[in-house]
Chain A
Amino acid sequence: MALKMVKGSIDRMFDKNLQDLVRGIRNHKEDEAKYISQCIDEIKQELKQDNIAVKANAVCKLTYLQMLGYDISWAAFNIIEVMSASKFTFKRIGYLAASQSFHEGTDVIMLTTNQIRKDLSSPSQYDTGVALTGLSCFVTPDLARDLANDIMTLMSHTKPYIRKKAVLIMYKVFLKYPESLRPAFPRLKEKLEDPDPGVQSAAVNVICELARRNPKNYLSLAPLFFKLMTSSTNNWVLIKIIKLFGALTPLEPRLGKKLIEPLTNLIHSTSAMSLLYECVNTVIAVLISLSSGMPNHSASIQLCVQKLRILIEDSDQNLKYLGLLAMSKILKTHPKSVQSHKDLILQCLDDKDESIRLRALDLLYGMVSKKNLMEIVKKLMTHVDKAEGTTYRDELLTKIIDICSQSNYQHITNFEWYISILVELTRLEGTRHGHLIAAQMLDVAIRVKAIRKFAVSQMSTLLDNAHLVASSTQRNGICEVLYAATWICGEFSEHLQEPQHTLEAMLRPKVTTLPGHIQAVYVQNVVKLYASILQQKEQAAETEAAQAVTQLMIDRLPQFVQSADLEVQERASCILQLVKHVQKLQAKAVPVAEEVSALFAGELNPVAPKAQKKVPVPEGLDLDAWINEPLSDSESEDEKPKAMFHEEEQRQAKHRLPEVDEEELARRREARKQEQANNPFYIKSSPSPQKRYQDSPGVEHIPVVQIDLSVPLKVPGLPLSDQYVRLEEERRHRQRLEKDKRRKKRRDKEKKGKRRHGSLPTESDEDIAPAQQVDIVTEEMPENALPSDEDDKDPNDPYRALDIDLDKPLADSEKLPVQKHRNAENSKSPEKEDVPVVEKKSKKPKKKEKKHKEKEREKEKKKEKERKGEDLDFWLSTTPPPAPRAPHPGSLQDTLSVNTHTDTAPKDEVVEPRREAQDEEDEDQDQEKKPSKHKKKHKKEKEERPKDKKRSRKKLLGSEEAPGEPVQNGALEEGPLPPMSSYSLLAENSYIKMTYGIQGSLQDSQVTVSIILENLSGSVLKSMELSVLDSLNTRMARPEGSSVHDGVPVPFQLPPGVSNEAQFVFTVQSIVMAQKLKGTLSFIAKDDEGATHEKLDFKLHFSCSSYLTTTPCYSDAFAKLLESGDLSMSSIRVDGISMSFQNLLTKICFHHHFSVVERVDSCASMYSRSIQGHHICLLVKKGENSVSVDGKCSDATLLSNVLEEMKATLATC
């Protein structure tokens, strides 16, 4: 044997280890793939060997190769082999490989369930730890479901190292198996106050992660987190909590007020930038969520902005970026405070990091005002010149345009300046945003009448220099500006200084290289220009000059006729014919200018883009109904609006009142707008009225949009004078309105429209939308907060399943046996005692009402929520009552309710009955709950017999519906058992009550005893120590170096009314007999009066069933086992059984750790295995009122003892 081992290790010398592999790969740079495939072949050989060390080494190398991107899924089974090695060294390698390579699709993953379960209950904390770590990476829904209970038990492990890992992995379990959240949540919450900071931090991590996705379910935890926030010094924990609060504040604005102060303190005191950033972020969220009206707002904002300035000034790019990001959030609500830091933001534009420059640009957008616009744009223009890389330059360009054009050119005081900026921008090479500039040029030229002259002169220059623009490569977008330039020159040709010159520029052969749609515009506008020149010349009686122009047209137009672009070709040939006709007429000396100009008579006016939508449908008008009999499809589009208008007018005419009131006016105006919107010639919304006043003084035709004469005038069959009168009135009214301050204007409109409350101050008249509400959900929520509305959620969101109401009491069906048990235990804290006493309970709120009058004035909904929170605490009482409760009624609620003082009294009356109703409901629930708990307890006491003192690992198999094991314990029948508990009373005195359960582990003949210690007294119990007198057969595992007589310390303290669970490991030599061990629990009880040292003796009873572990067995294996014949046999019979067979089996499974192999009618075969590997097979038959159990086992004594225990269990059925 020894020789074999030595030989094995000598063999190993010749295997490559990980370092050799890495070195080899580095040495084979040229033929890496070949080298690796050779290595993989070697690894495959190594995996075939029996030596686990060789296998582990191979798996270790595979993990490295996996990291390099090679597929190692073929080795999944080998990985599992290594995972199940007994040595930690190898186990760790196996779990690492699994965590790196296993995923939901790995089919062998289902084979790991039992292995992981075994490792989880291993006495070595590192085995457990490594299993938890691995599991966290590859947990699947099946694994989560099967192992949830084991992990939950580990959450109360004695070692904080295991506790923290177990707590953390619960998050993964919740994600995969959402049903586990509610049963596990109480314990998780309890861990928030774990004495070990690591465990605490893990619990905070998990709850914050959960709450981040569904914040509203966790509002009731706010007081607890608040306490943690003010007491914790762990920055990581603080950040998590603060982020969570950031998500909670939008749901509960009163929380924000409470938070401001501690957050401000943190901002002042912390040196960690990350924490600072998160604090600032949450403060911003708070300030957003609070309605304005807090006096000390500005102080907090100032503080935030100052601190952000420090971040932005930092040399670290990441901090700079974050600072700017947070700044932009403040900008939305408090632009003024940010504006004072303009210098800093402008500095950031010089930063070498592009992402920072872009952030700064975003900020600038919100910072401009009339005063600083030109300055900022100037600065930006210099950056445009300097900028390298077209992406950033394009970004700058769009930002300049955005900044200038925002809210209807609100900040522009000089449009000449703006036009020149636009023209300057055309000099940019290679930008993609030519069309943007073009659109701006068109927009400004059309909407700002006074600027047209200037615009036209600029555009003609541009056309003159078209070669500069067009020369840069064909595909670049800047030639789009020529589109605008041509159109402006053509449309407003009357402003041209030298029309002839421009015409020539437009007819240059070079133009034919431009894109088709631009050429088309060229062709069309050439004619406009031609018309206007013709008119000038004819008026000046320069016939020859006029003919020369015509000749020029005839000479140059053919180049467009040959265009490949259909549009250009068509227009050009039409126009060529027209011009030829004109030429003929000119030859006859017929004046043609008038007629040619008539082609382009009239003016185009802008219309707001959404004007049509904003017009309410007049009463009695059904837009879907046919106005006339259905018309043919060929009906032209613009006939319809006319018909509609006609109809409308007629209707009005019927109802016309002698005096036209404002409403009537508004309606008519809207009718007109509607018509304008239907007119394809209307282009854009108008600039803000004030602007237009400045820029077009004295122009008779003022607000283009609202008053449009041309169209109504054209409507046939209407008395024109009436129209004029109305329009004139309206215009005057408009003028008055526009001179008023904006706010007043809005009020005015509300009077008329009654649907315009939500419009923002910056909106122009045309943009007023019906009742727009500021959408807090999407706009003002902090970074991570998801809207709580269901429809806003992605149905595939994995977190959606975790949106579970945690305040609701657990239903029995939800509870997993062990949890249920724990809850029952917990419920016996002193507070619980008064639950069943109805009067007491209903008095309670009244007392409170007296104490906290303000509370009653809170909104009823809030109250219910708060109560829910209290109920949660009350019901669970897992937290030490005095400490976490303190912030509840006292600090938090009181301060929160300050602002609701002004609510009127009647509300109280509304609230009161509700409250009582709620109480009644609670009582009902409590009563429902209570009996079951009592039942459980009674049962526990009744069953205080050896047999029942086991703790099943297979809790799921117990009373629950179908768990995932393939061999089911016949859980198909209905009629569930009352919940069972494997915990039984160990000892009790006035201070403490101990209940315990025993769980076997397949490893090293060990059993784990879980003892729940519950403090019944009013004192704090500490320095608890458990000492047990070892027998020859059974010994308690003690920390290294301690002697047999030393006690094992219990790793926690118990505040009054609290219970907690401690686990102790015992080693057993022989398991065939039940055993009893005597022991003592010593502890110090400390209360206000002093401390006393107390002792409690107990007797631990190890039944034979507690040495059995639930092991699934398939029927064929079971049959083989029976056939093998080396099993001894024994049987029992119990009479007077009334319980159903199903429940009977469940009971046996639960209390004696058996699993059902097969069940046929009232006969079932069952299997279990002892921790030392004895097989126990049972055949259970049910007669009328009796049950007979035949057993076979490899050890006769064990079998008879187990059967005796079983008999006792069945006797109670």
Chain B
Amino acid sequence: MIQAILVFNNHGKPRLVRFYQHFVFVETLDKCFENVCELDLIFHMDKVHYILQEVVMGGMVLETNMNEIVAQIEAQNRLEKSEGGLSAAPARAVSAVKNINLPEIPRNINIGDLNIKVPNLSQFV
């Protein structure tokens, strides 16, 4: 029974993975996040959980075939996207904006005669 999973960052060589070569959690994370790094895990705790839930369920190994796991996760993501539809679009836009490094955006944008004042979005941060 698996009670917890420790993900070591041991210079890219998690110890557990070496023993349980067929235990594919880290590799799956890598695939789903495209080169996973610890920040991915910190900021997307929920997604990590969803991935883990496809690998381990209630402390028992559910699936060891990485392709299967990735396929299921992608299918669920697609489902989530399709559900989001129109109403989710603004939220996505906002979160995209929030993820931009705000201080680097110029406060005022001048294009010819147009003068656009960029709202101060840093309050969200």
Contact = CB atoms under 8 A, between A and B. Distances in A.
A504 B37 CA distance: 73
Contact of B80 (A14, A67, A89, A133): A89
Given A96-B49, A273-B21, A164 B94 contact: no
A137 B91 CA distance: 31
A19 B97 CA distance: 12
A168 interface: yes
B50 A236 contact: no
A201 interface: yes
Given A10-B90, A274-B21, A169 B63 contact: no
A24 B21 CA distance: 37
Interface string A294-325: 00000000000000000000001111000000
Contacts of B88: 9
A165 to B, nearest CB: 6
Nearest to B71: A161
B113 interface: no
Interface string B1-12: 100000000000
B95 A19 contact: yes
A5 B1 contact: no
B90 A9 contact: yes
Interface residues of B, number: 43
A18 B15 CA distance: 30
A171 interface: yes
A206 B76 contact: no
B50 to A, nearest CB: 7
Nearest to A139: B58
A96 B50 contact: yes
Interface string A135-163: 01101000000000000000000000100
Contact of A23 (B18, B44, B87, B125): B125
A63 B98 CA distance: 21
Given A20-B98, A67-B45, A136-B57, A274 B22 contact: yes
B19 to A, nearest CB: 5
Given A272-B22, A273-B21, A87 B57 contact: no
Contact of B68 (A17, A24, A67, A198): A198
Contact of B45 (A26, A63, A87, A319): A63
30 contacts: A8-B87, A17-B95, A19-B95, A19-B99, A22-B45, A24-B125, A63-B45, A64-B45, A64-B46, A87-B83, A89-B83, A93-B46, A129-B72, A161-B72, A164-B63, A165-B57, A168-B58, A168-B62, A171-B60, A205-B61, A236-B23, A273-B19, A273-B21, A274-B19, A274-B20, A274-B22, A316-B15, A318-B15, A318-B18, A319-B18
A20 B124 contact: yes
B64 A234 contact: yes
Given A13-B90, A19-B43, A92-B50, 14 more contacts: A64-B45, A87-B83, A92-B80, A93-B46, A96-B46, A126-B79, A133-B53, A168-B57, A198-B68, A205-B61, A209-B1, A235-B21, A236-B64, A318-B19
A132 interface: yes
Contacts of A161: 72
Given A9-B91, A13-B91, A318-B19, A165 B60 contact: no
Nearest to B68: A198
A88 interface: yes
A96 B80 CA distance: 15
Contact of B76 (A9, A14, A126, A132): A126
A236 B57 contact: no
A168 B60 contact: yes
A60 interface: yes
A133 B57 contact: yes
A234 B64 CA distance: 8
A274 to B, nearest CB: 5
Contact of A272 (B21, B63, B75, B124): B21
B79 A165 contact: no
A985 interface: no
A201 B55 CA distance: 12
A53 B91 CA distance: 11
Interface string B82-125: 01100110110011001100000000000000000000000011
A745 interface: no
Contacts of A13: 90-91, 94
A316 B53 contact: no
B100 to A, nearest CB: 12
A236 B61 contact: yes
Interface size band for A: 35 or more
A236 B22 CA distance: 7
5 A-B pairs with least C-beta separation: A136-B58, A235-B22, A13-B94, A89-B80, A133-B53
Nearest to A12: B91
A53 B92 CA distance: 13
Nearest to B123: A14
A7 to B, nearest CB: 11
Nearest to B16: A318
Nearest to A136: B58
Contacts of A930: none
Interface in B30-45: 42-45
A169 B87 contact: no
A172 interface: yes
A172 B56 CA distance: 13
Contacts of B80: 88-89, 92
A199 to B, nearest CB: 10
Contact of B62 (A202, A234, A235): A202
Nearest to B69: A198
A929 interface: no
A126 B75 CA distance: 9
Given A93-B46, A169-B58, A172-B58, A198 B65 contact: yes
Contact of B87 (A9, A22, A99, A202): A9
A53 B80 CA distance: 13
A27 interface: yes
A206 B60 contact: yes
A197 interface: yes
A45 to B, nearest CB: 16
A867 interface: no
Contacts of A129: 72
Contacts of A63: 45-46, 49
B15 to A, nearest CB: 6
- Interface core residue of B15, B45, B84 (most chain A CB under 10 Å): B45
Interface string A1-40: 0000110111011101111101110110000000000000
Nearest to A322: B19
Contacts of B15: 316-318
Given A136-B58, A236-B64, A12 B90 contact: yes
Contacts of B65: 197-198
A1048 B46 CA distance: 35
Contact of B83 (A88, A139, A201): A88
A209 B124 CA distance: 48
B7 to A, nearest CB: 14
A198 B58 contact: no
A914 B68 CA distance: 51
A18 B45 contact: yes
Contacts of A139: 58
Contacts of A19: 43-44, 95, 98-99
A100 B58 CA distance: 11
Contacts of A27: 125
Contacts of B19: 273-274, 316, 318-319
A57 to B, nearest CB: 9
A201 B91 contact: no
Nearest to A124: B79
A18 B57 contact: no
B125 A20 contact: yes
Contacts of B20: 274
A5 B79 contact: no
A18 B46 contact: yes
Nearest to A160: B68
Contacts of B49: 63, 96, 100
A535 B19 CA distance: 72
